[in-house]
Amino acid sequence: MELKEVDKKFFEKSTIQVAKGLLGKYLVKEIGRNLIVGRIVETEAYLKDDPASHSYKGKTRRNAQMFNIPGMSYVYFTYGMYHCLNLVTNKKDVGEAVLIRAVEPISGICFMKRHRKKKDEKNLTNGPAKVCQAFNITKEDNAINMKSKFSPIRIMKGEKDKFSIVSTTRIGISKGKEKPHRFYIKDNRFISKK
DNA sequence: CCGGTGATGCCCT
DNA sequence: GGGCATCACCGGT
Q: What is the spatial distance between Cα A29 and Cα A40, in angstroms, rounded to a whole number?
A: 13
CB A50 under 7 Å to nucleic chain C: no
Please check whether strand B approaches the CB of A150 to within 7 Å: no
User: Among A75, A88, A83, which Cα is nearest to A45's?
Assistant: A88
Q: Which nucleotide is nearest to A170 (CA to C1')?
A: C5
Measured CA to CA in angstroms, residue A117 lies from A14, A29, A33, A77, A151 at distances of 37, 19, 22, 20, 26
Instruction: Give the span between the Cα atoms of A10 and A145, in whole angstroms.
Output: 13
Q: Is the CB of A82 under 7 A from strand C?
A: yes
Average pLDDT per consecutive 10 residues, chain A (194 residues; last block may be shorter): 94 98 98 95 97 97 98 98 98 98 98 95 96 98 95 96 96 93 96 85
Q: Find out whether A120 and A187 touch, Cβ atoms under 8 Å.
A: no
Per-residue CB contacts under 7 A with strand C, chain A residues 122-161: 123, 127-131
Beta strands in A47-172 (DSSP E): 73-78, 82-88, 97-107, 153-157, 165-168
pLDDT value of residue A193: 82
pLDDT of residue A194: 67
pTM for the predicted model, two decimal places: 0.97
CB atoms within 10 A of CB A18: 24
Give, as ranges, the nucleotides of chain C with any atom within 7 Å of a protein CB.
3-8
The per-residue pLDDT for A1 is 80
